Structure 1
Amino acid sequence: MENEATAQRDRSLAPAVTRAAAILDLLAERRGQAVPLADLARGLGLAKSSVSNICNALVESGLLRRTPEGFGLGRRLVGYAEAYLAGVDIVREFQDVCRERAGSQEETVQLAVLSETGLEVVYLARRDGRHPVVLASQIGRPLPATTTATGKAMLAELAPQELALRLAAGPLPRLTGHSISEPDELRRDLAAVRERGYALDEGETLDGLLCLAATVPGAATRGQAAAVSFTGLATAASADRQRERAAELRALARDLGARMGAAESH
């Protein structure tokens, strides 16, 4: 009995192309490991002869490579990936993700990047939710990374040596009475961010507001760390509500990362 994937291939207008795509998908799932021809055929529900013909054609084009263990992804795919990523606009993708995710329409959602040196974040985009709030952040305006949730989310992922270098630049700024002003206290807060999986700004940038932030997977490897945040009134956030919104925020960050070319995490 045919499975759904096989049925879809059979209905394709170009079955060979659809089967080639299925081979590439299966090899991508193996994270670079070569797969024997028999395993490919079995995994796709196709005859070995058909899979062999397609794989050999893909090898000739550079999309696959042949190894003693079987077939693996080819170097030519790297060029395609680089060409795709060069054309990706993170701001546009951020706006698209926000539009598509109904769960992100409650609070104000923001996208920020970490400066290449020092302790500043710059906000690139903002989408107001159903309950807009007055924010300290403005598009293009830098804010201290140590007081903002987006900044702390990105600082938490820096190597210890890189973090120490940035902290050595001078005293930590204070925007409110809740702002962290001591490096050791900041390090403890960043450790909590890593354990929790998201960062918090509890009135540290502007009194009365609660901000949750998570990093965008893969952004740092593309040259500049990025993070997304939800901001709302602190009085509206119970512990259960915070956990619920954090889960939605992290899902939004993963979606944005996937659009930017990050590998899916499980």
Structure 2
Amino acid sequence: MAAGGSAEGVQSLDRAFLLLELMADAGGEVAISRLAADSGLAVSTIHRLVRTLVGRGYVRQLPSRRYVLGPRLIHLGEFASRMLATWAQPHLTRLVDVIGETANLAMLDGDRVVYVAQVPSRHSMRMFTEVGRRVHLHCTGVGKVLLAQLPPETARELLVQGGMPARTELTVTDPDELLRQLPTIADQGYAVDDGEQETGVRCVAVPVPGGSAAGAISVSGPAGRLGLDAVSRAVPLLQSAAAALATELGRDGGRPAG
């Protein structure tokens, strides 16, 4: 194969994955015009790539002629989640070694957040969340820090869709109040659940860089042991672990040229 053909083949792959990512960023359903605006690609190029993705089952076309992510991605996603947990394990273990509290990796899953990996604290009294458990966004550190990575309208939609039940007397149940907190969370680069999910438990979380609400790493423990001074010491350690994981995953945030 000529060099030009090889380069074009790689470019087509880049563009196809870009379209899938843009569909996910748009909530999973999007029109061709939106894909063209967000990607900078020609409509004819998008039609050609989307036809291939539809043929492979990675994208479906709705009667409205809008496109949604297809069921073929479910199998890939399940396997990728298992691999992600494997890659995250050493980073979480190091956090437990240094901070002493339970370390978690969580990902956005619709209007919930799901824990995909965990290394428990070695203390006899420790926090434990089942891997695979889905929890609300509004009352967890991981949920709030993931919401802060999203456009405000998307964050509001997820909060309204998922509901904001009071888990403790400290839980924020008003979407407007929480939405006002999100810019500060985004600016400071971390979120704290201060007894909002479970009384007496504190959690601090940071986003994994390189994706739109792609994932979050947190540590959680009894508030008496994970005090506010411990939170301030934990944040740079969490951010370092998140950056290392992102580098390992190859998330440089790059987009293919149009």
Tell me the C-alpha RMSD between the 2 structures.
Answer: 3.4
Q: Which residue of 2 aligns with 1:263?
A: 252
Structure 1 contact 108–231 (Cα < 8 Å) conserved: yes
CA distance in 2, matches of 1:149, 1:201: 5
Structure 1 contact 104–249 (Cα < 8 Å) conserved: no
Q: Which residue of 2 aligns with 1:15?
A: none
> How far has the Cα of 1:114 moved from its partner?
1.1
Is 1:140 aligned to 2:129, yes or no?
no
Q: Relative to 1, partners in 2 of residues 1:260 and 1:104: Cα closer, same or farther, differing over 3 Å?
A: farther
CA distance in 2, matches of 1:102, 1:238: 16
Structure 1 residue aligned with 2:203, among 211, 229, 249?
211
Residues 216-235 of structure 1, C-alpha deviation per residue, up to 9 Å, x if partnerless?
11243xxx721110112211
Q: Which residue of 1 aligns with 2:113?
A: 121
CA distance in 1, matches of 2:122, 2:205: 19
Structure 1 contact 200–210 (Cα < 8 Å) conserved: yes
Q: Which residue of 2 aligns with 1:57?
A: none
Structure 2 residue aligned with 1:254, among 222, 239, 243?
243
> How far has the Cα of 1:109 moved from its partner?
0.3
Runs of 4+ in 1 over 4 A off after TM superposition: 60-65, 77-80, 100-105
> How far has the Cα of 1:135 moved from its partner?
3.6
Structure 1 contact 178–204 (Cα < 8 Å) conserved: yes
Normalising by structure 2, report the TM-score: 0.63
Normalising by structure 1, report the TM-score: 0.61
Q: Relative to 1, partners in 2 of residues 1:135 and 1:98: Cα closer, same or farther, differing over 3 Å?
A: closer
Residues 56-101 of structure 1, C-alpha deviation per residue, up to 9 Å, x if partnerless?
xxxx756998xxxxxxxx9748859x8xxx9792111100323456
In structure 1, the residue corresponding to 2:135 is in which secondary structure? strand
Of structures 1 and 2, the larger Rg is shown by 1
In structure 1, the residue corresponding to 2:245 is in which secondary structure? helix
In structure 2, the residue corresponding to 1:232 is in which secondary structure? strand
Structure 1 contact 214–249 (Cα < 8 Å) conserved: yes
Is 1:192 aligned to 2:184, yes or no?
yes
Identity of aligned residues (%): 29
Structure 1 residue aligned with 2:168, among 155, 176, 182?
176
Structure 2 residue aligned with 1:106, among 100, 104, 111?
100
Q: Unaligned stretches of 5+ in structure 1? A: 1-59, 66-73
What amino acid is aligned across from residue 223 of structure 2 in structure 1? Answer: A
CA distance in 2, matches of 1:110, 1:63: 44
> How far has the Cα of 1:213 moved from its partner?
0.5
